Amino acid sequence: MSDRFRVRRGRPIVAAVLALVVVAGLAAAGTATATTSKSCGTVTLNEQAWAGSTANTYVAKAVLQKIGCKVKITQITEIPVYQAMANGKTDAVLEDWQHVDQYKQYITKQHTVVMGGPNGVTGHIGWYIPTYLMQQYPQFKTWKGLKGKESIFKSPESGSQGMFLGGDPSYVQKDQQLIKALGLNFKFVSVGAEPAQVARWSQLYKQ
């Protein structure tokens, strides 16, 4: 996950209030200034479809409510949420993986969305293999060890190729490009957002 949050331009109070959260060691950073419930009003935060985003969003919601703000939660996916911030439908995203095209359009060119600063959370993107397979095939610790063994991961969805389970198409991911560049015989299969991914992993693990 990104360590930065986004705020729609025109809501400086949102950045200021969210900064108070990081002072408490909880969420996002910005320029901390005093605020009151009267000046705060209603703040709309966007929750993405994964656990980390939910945690960040609801911690911020609790703090905002504590100081007298009214908080609404939207659930707009990663790419459309930039337009939603630009249009004023939501005020802030507390966890953003920085889609390059949207960043350029709404932050660099239009200046309708601003980067609020770091929130102290660091995410990692990687490929994950079940422990029992790693024990059986120690060479899977690197991508080179997967070459020639891709069929171990095949499924009805992938045919003769190995199946690579990917996330929702709206997520920032470079897996298909990596698979092609590394010459691996995997078929990228998108299973949806985090809950769908977990359900599919659990199903495959039981098999």
The string of pLDDT tens digits covering residues 99-130 is 888 889 998 999 898 888 777 777 777 888 88
Q: Are 204 and 179 in contact, with CB atoms under 8 Å apart?
A: no
185: exposed, middle or buried (Cβ count in 10 Å: 0-12, 13-18, 19+): middle
Q: Is residue 47 part of a domain?
A: yes
The SS3 of residue 202 is helix
93 and 187 co-located in one domain: no
Between 19 and 52, the more confident residue is 52
166 and 105 co-located in one domain: no
* Residue matched to tokens 């709309």: 44
Number of domains in the chain: 2
Residue 90 has pLDDT above 50, yes or no: yes
Q: How far apart are CA 57 and CA 65, in angstroms?
A: 12
95 and 184 co-located in one domain: no
98 and 135 co-located in one domain: no
26 and 105 co-located in one domain: yes
**pLDDT tens profile 20-62:** 444 333 333 332 334 444 567 899 999 988 888 899 999 999 9
55 and 17 co-located in one domain: yes
- 161-187 mean pLDDT: 89
Which residue, among 109, 101, 115, has the nearest Cα to 9 in the 3D structure? Answer: 115
The percentage of residues in the chain with a pLDDT greater than 70, rounded to a whole number, is 81
| Parent domain of 70 | 4-118
